[in-house]
Amino acid sequence: MRRNYYNYILALSVLGISLTGLPSVSFAEPNSAQMSSTKEAKLLKTYTSIIENHLNKNLSIMRTVRILVNNYPEHASYIVSAAFDLTPNKKKAIIMAAIQAEPAVTYSVVETALTYFPGNAEMIVQTAIETEPAYIDDILSLAIAHSPEKADSLITLTLQNHPSYSESIMRTAHESSSGNLLSSVISTLKLIPESADYVLNGIKDFFTSLGGTESEAYISKEQWKLLAVEAKNSGLDKDRLQWLVDKGHLEQKELAAVYNK
């Protein structure tokens, strides 16, 4: 019954028919771009009206968004846009509700949220990853593309929340950002040393998979030393970092010096 009601309202809006039953008047034949823009505007207006109606009936924004996205996942970006317009102070709840209703819309929901609230990239990433960690790569790459100046903090945040995804996170960061990959890893080890085992395993697997390509060339020996220092401070023994020597990132005496201090 609910879906039939929404179908009726949406059909009227997209076809340009008012709720009084009178068709809208058009004086010129629109081109395809205009038609697309008009349809998008009508969808946004319709969802705004529906959400307002739900809120006026004291339904929560989370429940409203969840119902709408569950019924119309293909319109997720319009639904969350309307919700953001009406209740911008509930943006975290809106993101969570939309993704919980249909995980497959995670990409469009995050992209819309980043467009609306570019200054809240960290919150958007953390909320989306906590809600649907399976889309961690898409979430991180989108956020870095929207806010490249926050790449380091976004990578660090992602590593902190899901250290077991370290290899995947580093691969996404490598593809999305030209910054120093190790700076985020070092920051993560400083903040949450208990994650060192997961993080270092992921980093080892990632750099090993690169096969000594030129992608590693911009990483200085000093950065590798800092990584070793933080790994040591996190409680890892020297044997766990032998791969740094085997891969040629550090000399044996340099690794030994870190652990002899």
pLDDT at position 104: 95
pTM of the predicted protein model: 0.76
Are residues 161 and 143 in contact, defined by beta-carbon separation less than 8 angstroms? no
pLDDT at position 13: 47
pLDDT at position 33: 46
Residue (of 3, 81, 70, 72) closest to 41 by Cα position: 81
pLDDT at position 211: 64
CA angle 124, 126, 127 (to 5 degrees): 65
Q: List C-alpha distances in Å: 17 to 71, 151, 226.
A: 22, 46, 65
pLDDT at position 5: 52
pLDDT at position 32: 46
Report how far residue 190's alpha carbon sits from residue 101's, in angstroms, rounded to the nearest whole number. 36
pLDDT at position 61: 96
What is the rounded (10 degree) CA torsion for 108, 111, 112, 113?
Answer: 120
Question: Which residues touch 156 (CB under 8 Å, ≥6 apart)?
Answer: 184, 187, 188, 191
pLDDT at position 113: 97
Helix pair 121-131, 136-146: axis angle to 10 deg: 170
Counting as low any pLDDT under 50, the low residues of the chain are: 8, 11-35, 214, 217
